[in-house]
Amino acid sequence: MSAPAVSRLSKAAQSSAAQNSAIQRAAWEASSLDWLYLDLNSYFASVEQQENPRLRGKPVIVVPVMSETTSAIAASYEAKAFGIKTGTPVWEAKRLCPGIALVDARHDVYVKYHHRILEEVDRHIPVYKSWSIDEVSCELMGPQKLEPEARALAHRIKAGLRQNLGECIRCSIGIAPNQFLAKLASDMQKPDGLTVIHRHELPERILPLPLRDLPGIGPNMERRLNEAGIRSIEQLWALDPREARAIWGSKEGPAFCARLRGYGDYHQSSEHRSVSHEHVLPPQFRDADSAFLVVRRLCTKAGSRLRRMGYLASGFYLKARFETGERWAADFRLTQTQDNFILLDAAERLWQAMLRETGPRRGRFKKVGIALHGLVPEQQVTLDLFSGGSGHERNPQQAAARAKLSAVMDRLNGKFGKDTVHLGVLPGHRADFMGAKIAFNRIPDAKEFIE
C-alpha cells in the first residue's frame, strides 16, 4: 500500500475516532445520572458482626448502655426480621427475640471503619460529601454517567468493601440525577441493593412510595402536608411553587419540589452552630450526685472541643430526662467563653435551679446533656474585660491564667490519655465514650475520644 493511501486511512481513522468521541460525549451530557449515593446497611451492628465472627448471622442490637430501659441504637438485619429496629427498647427486643445479643456501642471503632470506607470508595471514585457516619455521595463524571458504567462502578465499590473491610460491610447504592433522589434510591432496596432512577422515569418510579420515605419528610412535615390535603407523592408532585411555599412557610417548599423532579439539590452547611454532648446513665448511677458528675465531665469535654475548634460560646444549655419520662431543660447566657471554670459554674447554677424546680417528684435520672451554642470564631471575639462568662466580675490576668491552664491540660490529656489531668471528681462508671457520640449528621473527630 502506498504512503498516500496509508495517510488517507490514518486520517479516516482519526475522523471516525473523533466522531465516536463526540457521540460518547453527547451521550454523557444527555444522561441524567449525575450522582451515586452509598448507604451502609445496619452500620453499627454490621461493624460489630465483622469484628466478632460469633455474632455473624445472629440477631444483634447495639445499645448505649447495658440496661433494660435503654433502646437499641442499631439492629442487625437478623434482628430486624423479628420486628426490632432503631429505638426499640431493650426489654421489648428481648421479648420479640429471646437470646438476642446486646453489644455496647463503640463509637471510636465505627469512626475508624468510616474512614476506612472512605478510603475504599476513593479508590473507585472521589467522595464528594460524607452526609453521616454511614452515608456518602459521589459525583459521576464522563462515561460514569451512562447506566452500564454507573452500575459497574457501584458493583466495584461493593466488591472492594467486601474484600478490604469484610463480608459484613454491605451497602445499598442509589444512582440518580441529584443527591436527593440518589439517597431516595439507596433506600428502595435493602440490604445490598442497587437502584437507578432516570429523570425521564419520574414521577412513575416513586409514586408507590409513602411520603415519609422522602428525605426531609418527617412526622411533623407529613402532618403539615396532610393538613393541606397532600397524602401521596402524586399529590405532592402536582403542587405548584406558590402552594409549596405556603405549606412549608418558606422557599424550602419550591426547592423541595424541584429536588423531587431531579433539579437542584440539598446542601449541608459546614458552619459550627453548637457543641453538644449527652449521656445515658447506667441504672446504678442515676442518683442526683452521680448524674451531676457526668454533667461536669461533659462540660470539660465540650470546653476542650471548643478550644480545639477555635470557638467561644455565648450560651449554655442543660437538659435532663428522668425515669418517670419527665424532662427538664434551661438555658444560661454566657459572655463569649471557652473557659472550663466558667462552663462548670454555669452548669452548677442550672443544676441547682433544676433541683429546686423539680423537687422530689423528679425521681431518678435517666439521661443528661449539655450544649454550648452561639459559637463565635476566636478571631471575631470582642473581649469583655469586666465580666466573666457567667456574669461574675473577673480579673483579666486571672482569665488569662485559666486559659493557659486549660490549654496545658488539653495538651497533657492529648499526650498521655483522657483524664490524665481533670477538674474535680470523675463519674464512678465507665466513661470511655462519654460525649463522643455519632450524631445523624456529625462524625466525631478522632481527637474527641481522648478529650
CATH number of the structural domain spanning residue 263 = 1.10.150
What is the total count of domains within the chain? 3
Residues 31 and 167 in one domain: yes
Q: Check whether 432 has a pLDDT greater than 90.
A: no
Give 3: exposed, middle or buried? Use CB within 10 Å, 0-12, 13-18, 19+.
Answer: exposed
Sheet architecture: strand order including 35-40: 129-132, 135-139, 35-40, 171-176, 194-196
Of the residues 149, 173, 201, which one is the last residue of a structural domain?
A: 201
Q: Which amino acid is at 142?
A: G
Least confident of 91-105, 250-264, 371-385: 371-385
Average pLDDT over residues 138-152: 95
Of the residues 201, 233, 259, which one is the last residue of a structural domain?
A: 201
Residue 8 lies in a domain: no
Q: Which amino acid is at 368?
A: V
Tell how far CA 223 is from the center of its chain: 24
Residue 27 lies in a domain: yes
Predicted confidence at residue 379, as pLDDT, reads: 74
Per-residue pLDDT tens for 111-125?
A: 999 999 999 999 999
Residues 219 and 350 in one domain: no
Residues 84 and 166 in one domain: yes
Of the residues 267, 294, 316, which one is the last residue of a structural domain?
A: 267
Residues 359 and 393 in one domain: yes
Sheet architecture: strand order including 60-63: 74-75, 60-63, 101-104
Predicted confidence at residue 388, as pLDDT, reads: 43
What domain range includes position 371? 274-450
Residues 190 and 125 in one domain: yes
Positions annotated as catalytic residues are 135
Residue 419 lies in a domain: yes
Q: Which pTM value belongs to this model?
A: 0.64
CATH number of the structural domain spanning residue 284 = 3.30.1490.100
Residues 212 and 341 in one domain: no
Residues 17 and 38 in one domain: yes
Residues 81 and 167 in one domain: yes
Residue 22 lies in a domain: yes
Q: Which one-letter DSSP state was computed for residue 315?
A: E
Per-residue pLDDT tens for 318-376?
A: 999 999 989 999 998 988 888 898 999 999 999 999 999 998 888 999 999 999 988 88
Residues 324 and 409 in one domain: yes
Q: What's 70-123 look like in SS3? A: CECCEECHHHHCCCCCCCCEHHHHHHHCCCCEEEECCHHHHHHHHHHHHHHHHC
Per-residue pLDDT tens for 297-307?
A: 999 989 988 88
Helices (H), 165-320: 179-186, 219-227, 233-237, 241-248, 252-260, 288-309
SS3 of residue 451 by DSSP: coil
Share of the chain above pLDDT 70, in %: 78
Q: Which three cell numbers stand for residue 34?
A: 449525575
Q: Which one-letter DSSP state was computed for residue 281?
A: P
- Which of 309, 400, 300 has its CA nearest to residue 340? 300
Between 367 and 23, name the one with better pLDDT.
367
Q: Which three cell numbers stand for residue 159?
A: 466488591
Share of the chain above pLDDT 90, in %: 59
Residues 209 and 172 in one domain: no
Share the mean pLDDT of the chain: 84
- Phi-psi category of residue 419: left, alpha or beta, with phi > 0 → left and psi -120 to 50 → alpha: left
Residues 183 and 239 in one domain: no
Residues 150 and 246 in one domain: no
Average pLDDT over residues 281-306: 91
Residue 346 lies in a domain: yes
Q: Which one-letter DSSP state was computed for residue 368?
A: E
Q: Which one-letter DSSP state was computed for residue 425?
A: P
Q: Check whether 447 has a pLDDT greater than 60.
A: no
Residue 280 lies in a domain: yes
Per-residue pLDDT tens for 181-235?
A: 999 999 999 999 999 999 999 999 999 999 999 999 999 999 999 999 999 999 9
Residue 435 lies in a domain: yes
Predicted confidence at residue 145, as pLDDT, reads: 95
Predicted confidence at residue 243, as pLDDT, reads: 95
Predicted confidence at residue 56, as pLDDT, reads: 96
Between 7 and 432, name the one with better pLDDT.
7
Residue 290 lies in a domain: yes
Predicted confidence at residue 254, as pLDDT, reads: 94
Angle between helices 340-358 and 288-309 (to 10 degrees): 150
Q: In whole angstroms, how far apart are CA 368 and each of 89, 298, 321, 357, 443?
A: 18, 9, 6, 16, 21
